[in-house]
């Protein structure tokens, strides 16, 4: 199986917390064990190819279309007999300094760091290219040393980093640190070039990034589908596919494109047995697919993605992945009954006059924490409860048609409103066919007390079924239920 370039930015994003900042965009730094067999479709223009090893590009390792328009830079080779020795670590340290100097000079991205040794004689140098890529990430402060070690292991499956190579990443070998040798100004320039923050190396636009992601993910998906189950690099390929597909979904303005990308992420995560993340990605894909116009299909030539999503969801064990975020659509949100799961609403948004969006522009809207439906009887009877919404969470309540918000506790240090007034306000809103959201501050018991009193008096039925003359539910039964919602 011919190796393909590994995207360091996407691999790093998969290792770091999902909700954290993106330290390195995809398409900036690539790594490959060997350049033999690469095609121009696997690389992107403009590009800089940094070669480790003694062989030249005239050895037939690169096709003419790959060589066209690329800038080649050679670093001194590392002896494959000293890859884990003290001398080998010192040599890697020297290569790291030279690589950072080159980056600071405004190299064009993507940069491909690879070896030029013939196949069968490149193990040590391919090992070094992964370690150097991880060391660059750690040195420029894009990730802690621990994550950088994991990054190297993800780039080259089955790699073993002993103490000497870990010392390289943390600069604990006694050698001078890159900051001491090169200075903070030079390292700052190298970081700016790598992250696309300089005039000489402008950051890739979202449209351009989405375009090359589609192409690269297609190759990754093809290779992951055809790889044997025991292939040593299969897990790494699936992890990179999952990270890249998640990034592509976020970049896609059209709901159909985002659905196809999110499905690819879920497909990869199912095979990695990361069932929680897989369930969330596939629910996200299903919600997006429902937004995409049926006549136009889903995504780019993928009208059957809906059935594929259902097939992958069915492959997840019923008891697995139930703690992930719950992704729902405004008119199909009845599953949102577990206050322990964060609820996210996927909804259409204005196309802002862009006819090419074809009515598929979408947005994700977070619900308040501990959101849970109490009565779900659309379109007229809607009653939910949870924590007091933050400013960015009110939009989700609006698209769920919860137009009336009732606060059960005092906004300050004063006394809470009388419980009977809160219960009456809920009843009046529901009788008026106005969706109602009962909320209280996190840690407050006022919301639970008001909810328990309402359910004792009116129960879970629709207003036409209410009979206030007698309690709808025993107090003990309702108390246990409400306690589970808090």
* Per-residue confidence in pLDDT tens, the chain, 486 aa: 445 677 888 888 888 876 677 788 887 888 876 655 566 656 655 578 887 765 555 445 566 666 666 777 877 644 444 343 345 566 777 788 888 888 888 888 888 887 765 444 434 546 778 888 888 888 888 888 778 878 877 777 665 655 555 666 655 545 567 777 778 888 888 888 888 764 333 344 567 677 777 877 887 888 888 888 888 778 878 888 888 888 889 888 888 889 999 999 999 999 999 999 999 999 999 999 888 765 344 444 455 788 899 999 999 998 887 878 899 999 889 999 988 899 999 988 765 544 444 557 888 999 999 999 999 999 888 999 999 999 999 999 999 999 999 999 987 777 889 999 999 999 999 999 999 999 999 888 899 999 999 988 888 888 888 876 666 677 777 777 777 666
Q: Which of 322, 447, 340, 335 is nearest to 400 (CA)?
A: 335
Burial of 363 (0-12, 13-18, 19+ CB in 10 A): middle
Residue 275, Cβ neighbours under 10 Å: how many?
18
Q: Dihedral of the CA atoms 80, 81, 84, 88 (nearest 10)?
A: -80
pTM, whole model, 2 decimals?
Answer: 0.65
Exposure class string for 225-253: b at 16+ Cβ within 10 A, else e: eeeeeeeebbebbbbbbbbbbbbbbebbb
Q: 121: which residues sit within 8 A by CB, 6+ positions away?
A: none
Q: Which DSSP letter does residue 361 get?
A: B
């Amino acid at each position: 199986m011919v190796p393909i370039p590994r995207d360091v930015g996407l691999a790093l994003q998969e290792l770091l917390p999902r909700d954290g900042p993106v330290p390195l965009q995809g398409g900036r730094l690539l790594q490959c064990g060997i350049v033999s067999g690469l095609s121009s479709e696997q690389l992107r223009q403009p590009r800089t190819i940094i070669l480790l090893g003694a062989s030249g590009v005239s050895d037939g390792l690169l096709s003419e279309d790959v060589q066209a328009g690329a800038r080649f830079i050679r670093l001194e080779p590392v002896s494959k007999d000293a890859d884990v020795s003290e001398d080998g670590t010192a040599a890697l340290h020297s290569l790291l300094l030279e690589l950072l100097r080159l980056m600071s000079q405004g190299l064009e991205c993507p940069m491909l760091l690879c070896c030029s040794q013939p196949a069968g004689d490149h193990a040590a140098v391919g090992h070094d290219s992964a370690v150097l890529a991880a060391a660059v990430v750690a040195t420029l402060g894009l990730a802690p040393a621990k994550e950088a070690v994991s990054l190297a292991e993800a780039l080259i499956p089955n790699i073993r980093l002993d103490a000497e190579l870990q010392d390289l990443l943390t600069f604990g070998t006694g050698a001078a640190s890159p900051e001491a040798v090169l200075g903070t100004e030079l390292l700052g320039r190298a970081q700016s070039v790598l992250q696309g923050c300089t005039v000489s190396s402008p950051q890739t636009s979202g449209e351009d990034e989405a375009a090359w992601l589609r192409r690269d993910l297609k190759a990754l998906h093809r290779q992951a589908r055809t790889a044997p189950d025991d292939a040593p690099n299969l897990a790494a390929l699936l992890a990179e596919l999952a990270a890249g597909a998640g990034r592509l979904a976020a970049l896609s303005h059209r709901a159909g494109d985002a659905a196809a990308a999110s499905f690819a992420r879920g497909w990869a995560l199912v095979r990695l047995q990361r069932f929680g993340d897989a369930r969330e990605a596939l629910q996200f894909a299903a919600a997006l697919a429902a937004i995409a116009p049926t006549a136009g299909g889903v995504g780019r030539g993928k009208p059957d993605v809906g059935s594929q999503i259902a097939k992958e969801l069915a492959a997840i064990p019923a008891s697995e992945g139930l703690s992930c975020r719950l992704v729902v659509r405004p008119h199909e949100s009845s599953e949102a009954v577990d206050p322990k799961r964060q609820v996210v609403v996927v909804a259409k948004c204005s196309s802002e006059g862009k006819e090419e969006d074809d009515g598929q522009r979408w947005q994700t809207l977070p619900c308040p924490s501990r959101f849970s439906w109490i009565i779900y009887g659309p379109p007229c009877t809607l009653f939910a409860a949870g924590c007091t919404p933050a400013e960015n969470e009110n939009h989700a309540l609006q698209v769920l048609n919860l137009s009336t918000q009732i606060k059960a506790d005092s906004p300050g240090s004063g006394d809470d409103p009388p419980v009977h007034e809160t219960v009456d306000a809920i009843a009046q809103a529901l009788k008026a066919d106005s969706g109602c959201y009962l909320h209280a501050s996190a840690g407050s018991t006022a919301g639970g007390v008001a909810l328990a009193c309402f359910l004792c008096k009116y129960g879970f039925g629709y207003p036409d079924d209410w009979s206030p003359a007698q309690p709808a539910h025993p107090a003990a039964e309702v108390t246990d239920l409400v306690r589970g919602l808090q």
